[in-house]
Amino acid sequence: MADTTRLTGSALADHLETLRAKASPGPWETDTIDGDGFKSSAIYAGNYSTAPVILDTLNSDAAELEEDFDEIEGTGAVFDRAGMNNVGFVAAIENNFEAILSALRAMDELRAEIAKIGEKLVPRRPDPDPLEIFERVLAIADKLPARLPDDTPLYDVFPRKWPILGDLRDLVRSVQDERLRAHIKSQIAKIPSRS
């Protein structure tokens, strides 16, 4: 079965609609059936007194048995609470399916509206110029001391704490030569702008 955990909005609604078309028609009802010493839960495709059972929790590994005892009547039964909750949830999805589909499809419209409002409130900034970023990195790197107060070389600290700063260290070391800096700048200037 395909992974559908990332579906949202209309895509999820369409997927659920496809699955529902293959399922027993609703509305569905829930009730109990006799299990092995306890009452198990079941879903019926229609009225539970006449419709067939389409799903039950008789062999569930998630059973949570509880006893319901009426002291006045002197009767009681053991039933599966987890099974009751699970079939209740599944039947509720079927019985409220159209509302769920409408809500999922409305999500796409809502996202589009939020995006429109966001574009009006926050204008899109152009992508930064790579050459400008390079110049900023060099300006910061040029201000860094060569050693920390305890005489530890500054560049030796970076790789142990933050790998990306180790990469910055290597970049700065490699561009100490002015000719190499000029070459890097010329290569960055050739990068096409995305804005």
Q: Are 60 and 80 in contact (CB under 8 A)?
A: yes
pLDDT tens-place string over residues 27-60 = 999 888 887 778 888 999 888 778 888 888 888 8
pLDDT band at 18 (very low <50, low <70, confident <90, very high): very high
Listed by start position, the domains of the chain span 9-116, 130-189
Q: Is the pTM of this model over 0.85?
A: no
Residue 17 φ then ψ, to 5°: -65, -40
Whole-number average pLDDT of the chain: 76
